[in-house]
Structure 1
Amino acid sequence: MAAALSLAIGSNAALAEPKSYKIDDNHFSVTFEVDHLGYASVIGMFLEGKGQFEYDAEAKDVTSGKVVFQSASVFSNHEKRDEHLRKDDFLHADRYPEITFEVTNFETTGDNTGKLTGDLTMLGQTHPVTLDVTLNKAAEYPISHEEYTLGLSASTTIQRSDWGMDYALDPLMVGDDVHLRFEFEAIEDNGWL
């Protein structure tokens, strides 16, 4: 889902050909939200992930990209629930240790917004997913590495049952809709990353 960075619309004219970007591990969050019995939503995240993408600023296009996060890194601030989420009722982390998103298309919708479509693979199944993406900022980083950096937000809603994750749907205890949100910074890869 990180490949969403393709949004550098209005970035920098100096980026006239495809450039490689790598998601900054220190500024990368993947969160999920699911209804529980209608009382409240459970909010969690994946603590381990990485990604990279190719972005052509002149064409305003993401030519490729991939994000991978580790199923076993799921965290919802409740140890027993997290253990259950890693088992075969949900993520089956032993058998499917990685969840991946690979970019297939990008469509500009505004000055700093777009729709990023890709294949989401989870539990051994692959289905297309479209994320709404916003480019928050594109500039040289003011501190630390001082490299050209994109800051992006992306979100989508999927139905977990599409991937065969149907535990607690009948009777309904855990919602089918899973709201996903990605917040990250991506650094232009000049060979030092």
Structure 2
Amino acid sequence: MKAVGCTLCLAVGPGGAVWAQEAALPAGSYKLDPYHSTLVFSVSHLGFSDYVMSFDTFDAALELDPADPGKAALSVSVDPASLDVPRPPEGFMEELMGESWLNAGAHPEISFTSTGIEMTGGEAAMVTGDLTLLGVTKPVTLEVTFNGGYAGHPFDPNARIGFSAEGSFNRSDFGMGYGIPAPGTTMGVGDAVTVRIETEFTGPAMEDKKD
């Protein structure tokens, strides 16, 4: 199953009231739609290009009250062993799962828990949370855009909301220092990791569509 995390844009203040009213979003528990969510990340390869990868197995839970979105809570879980690499050479996946990189055997989960939301526009926010990777927890901030939502649809009785998000962090902060270029060079695998997320959450059903 695919789901996404690290992807919450909840509007606080006038902008939040606008989108909450337009979408008529109900309060309650929202879950990731695994069929409309992607989690992609990239690192510099020798300074020549950005090498792009993704995770296929991840999940998230969101508690949201549109009347008070600043108190929303997001929790995310990612399976590092679900790493998807385009056309990997022989032995490459085993190397990435090993101790120098994701060390998935010893650390079978990457997690993110939101800790704060700061609105930067009517549909944009900075979402900060605790990212745990390789057993190390550090704060990470995402730039998030709320793309829209509805309280229900004739073919979809549940509320639905969508977000786009992007952020970055240094992998060395989490103890993953292998292959980082020496100062003044780009010969290696970059320290900075850029994360890009597209996601939809489904929420409570419309009152008149409930059983």
Same fold (TM over 0.5): yes
- 1:36 aligns with one of 18, 39, 45: 45
Residue 3 of structure 1, CA deviation:
5.2
Q: How does 1:39-188 map to 2 (within 5 A)?
A: 39-79=48-88, 80-140=91-151, 142=153, 144-171=155-182, 172-188=187-203
Structure 1 Cα separation of the partners of residues 6 and 30 of structure 2: 9
User: Residue 36 and residue 141 in structure 1: after superposition, are their counterparts in 2 closer, same or farther (change >3 A)?
Assistant: farther
Q: Do 1:11 and 1:139's aligned partners in 2 also have CA atoms closer than 8 Å?
A: no
Structure 1 Cα separation of the partners of residues 191 and 92 of structure 2: 17
Residue 143 of structure 1, CA deviation:
6.8
- 2:8 aligns with one of 5, 10, 35: 5
Residue 47 of structure 1, CA deviation:
0.5
Aligned length: 190
CA RMSD of aligned residues (A): 2.1
Give secondary structure in 2 for the equivalent of 1:83. helix
Quick one: percent identity of the two aligned structures? 34
Structure 2 Cα separation of the partners of residues 185 and 51 of structure 1: 11
Residue 26 of structure 1, CA deviation:
1.2
Residue 141 of structure 1, CA deviation:
5.4
Q: Between Structure 1 and Structure 2, whose CA radius of gyration is higher?
A: 2
Q: Do 2:62 and 2:75's aligned partners in 1 also have CA atoms closer than 8 Å?
A: yes
User: Residue 15 and residue 73 in structure 1: after superposition, are their counterparts in 2 closer, same or farther (change >3 A)?
Assistant: same
- Greater fraction helix: 2
Residue 137 of structure 1, CA deviation:
1.1
Structure 1 Cα separation of the partners of residues 204 and 132 of structure 2: 26
Structure 2 Cα separation of the partners of residues 32 and 136 of structure 1: 21
Return the TM-score normalized by structure 1. 0.89
- Aligned partner of 2:134: which letter? L
Residue 5 of structure 1, CA deviation:
2.7
The answer to whether 1:21 aligns with 2:30 is: yes
Structure 2: stretches of 5+ with no match in the other structure: none
Residue 151 of structure 1, CA deviation:
0.5
Choose 76-85 or 164-173, whichever is displaced more: 76-85
Structure 1: stretches of 5+ with no match in the other structure: none
Residue 50 of structure 1, CA deviation:
0.5
Structure 1 Cα separation of the partners of residues 71 and 199 of structure 2: 16
Give secondary structure in 2 for the equivalent of 1:158. strand
Choose 174-183 or 74-83, whichever is displaced more: 74-83
Structure 2 Cα separation of the partners of residues 61 and 130 of structure 1: 15
Structure 2 Cα separation of the partners of residues 70 and 136 of structure 1: 26
Q: Do 2:25 and 2:149's aligned partners in 1 also have CA atoms closer than 8 Å?
A: no
